[in-house]
Amino acid sequence: MEKLKVIRLDITDWGMSLGGEHYYAKMWYRDDGEWQSLELYTKLTAKDAKYLNEKDGEDLYTKGDSSLRFNTINDAVKEALCQSQKLGIEVDLILSNFGSASVSEALWSKDKKIAKRINELYTKAEKIGWYSSNRFPNKIQDEKMEAIDSEFHNILETGEVK
């Protein structure tokens, strides 16, 4: 196989604020070797527009309006796939950008085996606490994380799962 064509999604939310319930997404992709970003929008349904008007206490939204607010992470993933198709970008894998600088969560993949293994690695990294800090080094933890990180990057480079 060959190196996977990857899109990364920055997913943010207002979950830490009272009443926060939507997701916002920025898609990162390579164009001629350079990372480019695209803010993702969704079209409001009549139900979405009605809900937002009631929630915000104003009559601002109508069906079909563009919005940065996604109801679910999966909605943002679907929009990333639509936008990649419009841009002519081939995609094998969509990874989250919320994780460590190394192993990321697979949000979508053409090959379900790849997504499953990447998410297993992500879960392992979470369980061991990622890399240790310089302030509190932990050689065993870092060695485990190196093995996880190495396998993750091998999958991205080869498109193969061991």
Tens digits of residue pLDDT in 5-52: 999 999 888 655 556 678 899 999 988 888 899 999 999 999 999 988
Domain finish residue from 64, 98, 132: 98
**Which pair of structure tokens corresponds to residue 63?**
């069906």
- Residue 118 has a pLDDT of 96
pLDDT > 90 in the chain, percent: 64
Mean pLDDT of the chain: 89
Domain total in the chain = 2
Clarify whether residues 44 and 122 are in a common domain: no
Residue 149 main-chain phi, psi, to 5 deg: -60, -40
Sequence-ordered strand ranges (E) for 16-89:
23-31, 34-39, 42-43, 66-67
Q: Range of 162's domain?
A: 111-162
Sequence-ordered strand ranges (E) for 16-112:
23-31, 34-39, 42-43, 66-67, 93-96, 106-109
- Residue 58 has a pLDDT of 86
Clarify whether residues 67 and 142 are in a common domain: no
| pLDDT exceeds 60 at position 115 | yes
Clarify whether residues 149 and 93 are in a common domain: no
